[in-house]
Amino acid sequence: MELASASARVAAGVVGPLVRKLFVRDGVGAGVVDRPVRIASLVSFRGERRELSEKELRKLAGALVRRFLEAGGPHEAPDGEGRRELVEALVRCLHSLGDLDMDDVQAVALGHRELARRLRRPVDVSAEVEARLDALLEICCLHVLNFFSQRSTFVSRTLIEQTRRIDGLVAAVDLLAARVPRRAAEDVRFETRYADHVVRAHGRLSIPAADVSTGFRVPLDSAYVSLEATVLPDGPTAAERVLAGDGRVLLRGAAGAGKSTLAQWVAVATARQSLDETPGHLLGRVPFVLPLRRVVREGRFPLPEDFLRRVGSAVAGGQPDGWVDRVLGAGRGVLLVDGVDELGEDERAEARRWVDDLVGEFPGNLWLVTARPSAVPEGWLAEQGFAEASLSPMGRGEVARFVRRWHGAVDAGRAGGHEERAESLVTAVGANGGLARLATNPLLCGLLCAWHREGSGALLPSGRGELFEAALHTLWKRREGGPGGTGETSMRLLERLAYWMIRNGVAEVGRPDALRQVERALLALPGRASVAAEEAWDALVERSGVLRASAGGSVEFTHGTFRDFLGAKALVEEGDFPLLLSIAREVRGEDVVRMAVARGRPEEAARILDGLVAGGTVRGALLAAACLDHAGRVDPGVRARVVARVSELVPPRDWAAARQLADGGGGVVLELLPGPESCGEREAPFVVAAAGRTGDDAALPLLARYRTHPSLEVRRQLVWCWHRFDTERYAEEVLRHVDERGVYFTVHRPEHLRALRALGGRSRVHVAFDCDPGELVELVDGERLTHLWLREGLRARSGAGGAGGAGGAAWLAALPALRVLVLPEGAEGSVPSLPPGVDVRFARRGEVVF
């Protein structure tokens, strides 16, 4: 059968009515033109307005299949088993309608073939059934789009969408015209070449995977997962938006938290200069990725004209004279300075002076500087006008998205099955608190995925050290053709190399130094003395999967955490405890110490932990406490001494102490934080803040004990930290019982609004994300909402008339009980005409509104 002709013979009068049953009928209020309705809320077998059961959906799919096959003729139809496969596959695809986060206008703009592609789900069926499924799904999507175009709101919504799009294009072009001055033809040509180079250099993401065919590098677009960053004092936002509000940001994050990956994303988004995809604050700009471990040479920081040469850019030789100076002088640069923690103490002070000089000489450029949390003190770049932000640990939602995208990226183009592997790991992490505490950042989550994918899912790791060791052995087993002892050899060579790098405080190693260390390590290995150091080193770089070439012919570990893990074992074996305790005083040594405790024997771990506590510093005590989470067997007396020292810091007595406890103390802190019955009213908010900041499910029982606390500040903290926990569980166990008087319930994403509505709504809501007005009106309880605080203001919320136009705030009329609207300070000039009786107020950054 010719599938195209069969599709054409399927009568619209038959298929159209069947397809329309997939969607609910327009309800009251569907005609509000400034309120687009998501497709997911229209499907008839999902959401609150269910009109079609699962059984009826399967019956409907069967009818569609029957009509389709009848059009092809009885002799071409598959057998009974083939029909059942086709029906089940179609049901899976139709279910995907409930996952579409777009409205009808956006769907029609896609076209029926692209819509069918987005609905398509991998199925294990014969090629004949698969071909029929593709054809059937396309004709279904054609009728779906026809149904959308006939909805009562479609024409008006299309006009508004077109007007908004035109306004957006005009604004973007005006922005580019203002931001990009007239340039010499030579500059224009080079910038085009440089932009392509940035996309090639940074448009792929290195992820841990045992299969050599992936090359460890996958497209950034397919693997990148948006993380959350807390910008002080504003609060959480998408990490990609940290430069949107503040042109200069110091971003803190633990090892593996995604700091460098975020810098990659910003660089690529800037280089692409797409009106549809590049955020407005990056349009017309030029990115410079400056990893400090590579650009700093012998304590000398690069001048602007040396940026490309210092990072080893292949296009540095074609750079026109004075080009970087002209870009920065025009305020068009995006400077991504990565890894302050990779520098020594003296070099960090010099880095601060370097940034200060460049900011003073070239104002108007965007800056993102990254560091580990304790690498530099708070306010380190405050004089230079830098805001501070920190990457949050991955929550359940981010972990689930990461796992799914990781499997999709690694298994791209292969037969199905990766979805099932991904979902089994998501389920395991959700059910196992230990795994959830382990999968808190992209690096660890990626290693977990790599191990699980190789069939080790039944024996998932219990700690960070076990995860790293098993993941590395898995990589070498797959890359070297079998266990055969070669993985152990690689491990020993890399351990010696990492030890030497830690001892000398370097992040890169040149070939001569590397060969000396490999030669020494080979002499210590039985039967390996005759192996040439050059041969062993070349094989190690090519096949280990954890080394990569850097600028100037040097080699570095693909991630510093691999170096710390491997070097820690050698440090312990050498008995180099004075060095361990010495580097524990530096932020770049924290992971080495944690790994050493995890990999050491009980007596070795005891010596390290006692040494940290004996140092007498808060930082050392908290590091010792954090090490307990990763240690194996620990002497009870040693553990008691660590706990006793940390208990002196509990309860925290100010906000800074609360942050320090939460970020540095591990699970021991949760064990020691007091409940409301034994905590003074002054310290109670700090206790709740510390517990909430951990984002650990183990904190929920403690937070639930504070849910009826009368203190307004305690209740604010309970509401604020919602975003760090499972949305529904936290809403039920904590928020449902919090006295709402005087408290704005902060929502950081749409599911928070849905959860609040399930609780019966709240009178005061603080929207801390750029929420679509139609979605907001749809999800809040308009009859109950009296106070609405929009942290992002009215930007991107207006209709065709603009924020101040006649229709700019028409959606507010759908909130009849509203009495107070809070907008950010500086939005005074864009306030629209408000409904009668609504008072507008303005809030400064970080201000608490009553």
Lowest-confidence pick of 198-202, 484-488, 821-825:
484-488
Band (pLDDT 50/70/90 cuts) for residue 210 is very low
Most trustworthy range by pLDDT among 57-66, 170-179, 330-339: 330-339
Instruction: Please give the average per-residue pLDDT across 480-504, as a whole number.
Output: 74
| Span(s) in the chain for CATH 3.40.50.300 | 189-392
Band (pLDDT 50/70/90 cuts) for residue 499 is very high
Q: Annotate 762-798 with DSSP letters as a single string.
A: -SEEEE-S---HHHHHHHS-TTT--EEEETTTTTT--
Q: What is the pLDDT of residue 840?
A: 87
Most trustworthy range by pLDDT among 491-495, 782-786, 801-805: 782-786
Chain-centre distance of CA 388, in angstroms?
18
Q: Label residue 627 exposed, middle or buried (CB < 10 Å: 0-12, 13-18, 19+).
A: buried
Length of the chain: 850
Do residues 122 and 419 make contact, with C-beta atoms less than 8 angstroms apart? Answer: yes
SS3 838: coil
Instruction: Please give the average per-residue pLDDT across 548-552, as a whole number.
Output: 70
pLDDT at 267 over 80: yes
pLDDT at 272 over 70: yes
CB atoms within 10 A of CB 647: 15
Instruction: Please give the average per-residue pLDDT across 514-530, as a whole number.
Output: 80
CA gap 615, 644 in Å, rounded: 14
Nearest CA-CA partner of 723 in 767, 687, 758, 759 = 767
Instruction: Please give the average per-residue pLDDT across 521-525, as a whole number.
Output: 83
For the stretch 72-107, pLDDT in tens is 665 556 777 888 888 988 888 888 887 777 777 778
What residues form DSSP beta bridges with 787?
764, 820
Please, what CATH class does the domain formed by 189-392 belong to?
Answer: alpha beta
Q: What is the pLDDT of residue 796?
A: 42
Backbone conformation region of residue 643, classed left if phi is above 0, alpha if psi is from -120 to 50, else beta: alpha
Whether the predicted model's global pTM rises above the 0.85 cut: no
Instruction: Check residues 163 and 734 and name the one with the higher pLDDT.
Output: 734
Nearest CA-CA partner of 572 in 608, 625, 612 = 608
% of the chain surpassing 90 pLDDT: 30
Backbone conformation region of residue 250, classed left if phi is above 0, alpha if psi is from -120 to 50, else beta: beta
Which structure tokens are listed for 832? Answer: 């629209």
What residues form DSSP beta bridges with 840?
821
Phi and psi at residue 824, to the nearest 5°: -70, 150
The DSSP bridge pattern shows strands 333-338 and 745-747 to be: unpaired
Band (pLDDT 50/70/90 cuts) for residue 385 is very high
pLDDT at 459 over 70: no
Lowest-confidence pick of 166-170, 317-321, 471-475, 806-810:
806-810
How far CA 411 is from CA of 205, 421, 453, 473, in Å, comes to 15, 11, 10, 21
% of the chain surpassing 70 pLDDT: 81
**Half-sphere exposure of residue 203: CA atoms within 13 angstroms, side-chain side:** 11
Q: In what order do the strands lie in the sheet with 248-252?
A: 235-238, 228-232, 387-391, 248-252, 366-371, 333-338, 286-291
* DSSP one-letter code for 380: T
pLDDT at 233 over 80: no
The whole-chain average pLDDT of the chain stands at: 81
Band (pLDDT 50/70/90 cuts) for residue 804 is very low
CA gap 837, 849 in Å, rounded: 19
Nearest CA-CA partner of 647 in 672, 620, 619 = 672
Instruction: Please give the average per-residue pLDDT across 56-66, as a whole number.
Output: 86
How far CA 151 is from CA of 27, 37, 145, 147, 157, in Å, comes to 11, 12, 10, 7, 10
* DSSP one-letter code for 454: I
Lowest-confidence pick of 144-158, 385-399, 772-786:
144-158
Q: What is the pLDDT of residue 697?
A: 84
| Amino acid identity, position 582 | S
Band (pLDDT 50/70/90 cuts) for residue 1 is very low
Nearest CA-CA partner of 753 in 762, 672, 180, 91 = 762
Instruction: Check residues 549 and 712 and name the one with the higher pLDDT.
Output: 712
Do residues 267 and 257 make contact, with C-beta atoms less than 8 angstroms apart? Answer: no
Instruction: Please give the average per-residue pLDDT across 308-329, as a whole number.
Output: 93
Enclosing H/E stretch for 308: helix 307-310
Lowest-confidence pick of 441-450, 457-466, 795-804:
795-804
For the stretch 645-704, pLDDT in tens is 999 999 999 988 898 898 888 889 999 999 999 999 999 999 999 999 888 888 999 999
Do residues 375 and 348 make contact, with C-beta atoms less than 8 angstroms apart? Answer: yes
Instruction: Check residues 706 and 630 and name the one with the higher pLDDT.
Output: 706
Q: What is the pLDDT of residue 612?
A: 94
For the stretch 551-566, pLDDT in tens is 667 888 888 888 998 9
Lowest-confidence pick of 82-86, 245-249, 411-415:
411-415
| Cβ burial 142-169 (10 Å sphere, 16+ → b, else e) | bbbbbbbeebebbeebeebbeeeeeeee
Phi and psi at residue 565, to the nearest 5°: -65, -50
Backbone conformation region of residue 761, classed left if phi is above 0, alpha if psi is from -120 to 50, else beta: left
∠ at Cα 746 (744, 748), nearest 5°?
165
Band (pLDDT 50/70/90 cuts) for residue 285 is very high
Give me the helix-helix angle, 442-451 and 418-431, nearest 10°: 120
pLDDT at 407 over 90: no
Backbone conformation region of residue 413, classed left if phi is above 0, alpha if psi is from -120 to 50, else beta: left
Q: What is the pLDDT of residue 36?
A: 57
Q: What is the pLDDT of residue 483?
A: 37
pLDDT at 745 over 90: yes
Do residues 440 and 454 make contact, with C-beta atoms less than 8 angstroms apart? Answer: no
CA gap 434, 448 in Å, rounded: 12
Most trustworthy range by pLDDT among 119-133, 437-451, 708-722, 786-800: 708-722
pLDDT at 359 over 90: yes
pLDDT at 7 over 60: no
Lowest-confidence pick of 52-56, 425-429, 603-607:
52-56
Q: What is the pLDDT of residue 177?
A: 54
Q: What is the pLDDT of residue 336?
A: 97
Lowest-confidence pick of 518-527, 535-544, 552-561, 789-798:
789-798
